[in-house]
Amino acid sequence: MTEEILGPILHIPRSPFVLARFGLSALLPALSLARSHFAGKRAQALFAGVSTHSILPLETTASAAVGLTMIAAGHTKGWPILRGGAQTLTDALVRHLENLGGRVENGHDVTDLPLSDLVLADITPRQLLRIAGSHLSGDYRNQLERFRYGAGAFKIDYALSAPIPWTARECQRAATVHIGGSLEEIAQAERTLSPNKPFVLLGQPSLFDSSRAPAGQHTAWAYCHVPNGSTEDYVESIERQIVRYAPGFRDCILSRSVSSPKALESWNPNLVGGDILGGAMNVRQLLFRPTCSLYRTSRSGLYLCGASTPPGGGVHGMCGFHAAKMALADLGL
């Protein structure tokens, strides 16, 4: 099922009835699906937590889609983490490209469309308009201008003197912990994006990967969803939520690095206003993003890929894969 979900939008499914059943459930609001399909407060809160990765209010139509996808992926392949950190995946891909004769150049601000027969642009509509707007048709530019970005993220990276002292033993064995309490609390947090009781996503990779921290010490990261471009400081709000379930957490903190939505966008301009999904995952933009043309643009040889194209944000690489397959097909290869 996960292969079907991450596959091309237009294809003949191997299990059409199963996929149709999934699609009908995916269109539901996560809040109503949690209440109707999951028994018990713990199961409902679990589904609410994974559904927040849509970065939509849980009452929103199709907010269940991301939750169902993540639950399916967790059951089939688990939720793995990369030994040595996320950069190791990029490094491996770069080495593979170089072995094929490719070259990576970075540190350059691209201000115009490169002179090339084929360009795959791993950017969002806003950057495409800035870089290649004069090369695009008026109708296509208008479609890109209607693209909407979603809520932002406020992130903290921690250096810790010890593992996080969770009161729940299960949390001591999890690489990722969702901190929000009950289904109702999580729904309210994602509806209001208030600093009062934010829903917090926390990773503690050094519990399973000793290369992430010096011997005897640990690392962790935590973030919450905030209004796009928010300038409010959520450090106290995030840590108050963590301390709620790990009372001695602050005693473990050696240092912290804080990334506001503005800082995230400065680090990577694709994170517009701190939006880590490359655009709102609402009904219109869930499948046909950023336009009905998907990866193609109005300029021949210019394709979009990245989180602003299907299947959206995530560590899967399928956006670039599908864009490349489409480009090769258009070239007759």
pLDDT in tens, 258-293: 999 999 999 999 999 999 999 998 888 888 899 999
Q: Are residues 162 and 126 in the same domain?
A: no
Q: Are residues 168 and 140 in the same domain?
A: no
| Contact of 285 with 279, CB cutoff 8 Å | yes
Cα distance between residue 54 and residue 253, in whole Å: 30
90 assigned to some structural domain? no
93 assigned to some structural domain? no
Written as one string, the DSSP assignment of 158-227 is EEESS----SSGGGGG-SEEEE--SHHHHHHHHHH--SSS--EEEE-GGGT-GGGSSTT-EEEEEEEEES
Structure tokens at 115: 């002179």
Average pLDDT of every residue of the chain: 91
Cα distance between residue 258 and residue 197, in whole Å: 18
Q: Are residues 231 and 157 in the same domain?
A: yes
Residue 216, domain CATH: 3.30.70
pLDDT in tens, 179-196: 999 999 999 999 999 999
Domain that holds residue 209: 152-267
Structure tokens at 281: 């995952």
Q: Are residues 119 and 164 in the same domain?
A: no
Number of domains in the chain: 3
85 assigned to some structural domain? no
105 assigned to some structural domain? no
Q: Are residues 115 and 20 in the same domain?
A: no
pLDDT in tens, 34-55: 999 999 999 999 999 999 999 9
The pLDDT value given to residue 73: 80
274 assigned to some structural domain? no
Q: Are residues 137 and 286 in the same domain?
A: yes
pLDDT beneath 50: ranges in the chain: none
Nearest to 286 by CA among 72, 97, 88, 23: 23
| Contact of 227 with 57, CB cutoff 8 Å | no
Cα distance between residue 163 and residue 202, in whole Å: 13
Helix (H, G, I), strand (E, B) or coil at 157: strand
- CA 287 from chain centre, in angstroms, equals 15
Strand order in the sheet with 253-259: 176-179, 200-203, 218-226, 152-160, 253-259
156 assigned to some structural domain? yes
| Contact of 306 with 270, CB cutoff 8 Å | yes
Cα distance between residue 328 and residue 84, in whole Å: 34
Q: Are residues 167 and 233 in the same domain?
A: yes
Q: Are residues 306 and 229 in the same domain?
A: no
Cα distance between residue 212 and residue 151, in whole Å: 29
Q: Are residues 175 and 223 in the same domain?
A: yes
Helix (H, G, I), strand (E, B) or coil at 115: coil
Q: Are residues 144 and 249 in the same domain?
A: no
The pLDDT value given to residue 230: 97
pTM as predicted:
0.90
Q: Are residues 136 and 158 in the same domain?
A: no
95 assigned to some structural domain? no
* Residue partners of 217: CB distance under 8 A and separation at least 6: 159, 160, 161, 162, 206, 254
Helix, strand, coil percentages in the chain from 3-state DSSP, rounded to 5: 45, 10, 45
Structure tokens at 188: 């309210």
Nearest to 295 by CA among 121, 118, 111, 114: 121
Q: Are residues 120 and 158 in the same domain?
A: no
Beta strand spans in the chain (E): 119-121, 152-160, 176-179, 200-203, 218-226, 253-259, 302-304
103 assigned to some structural domain? no
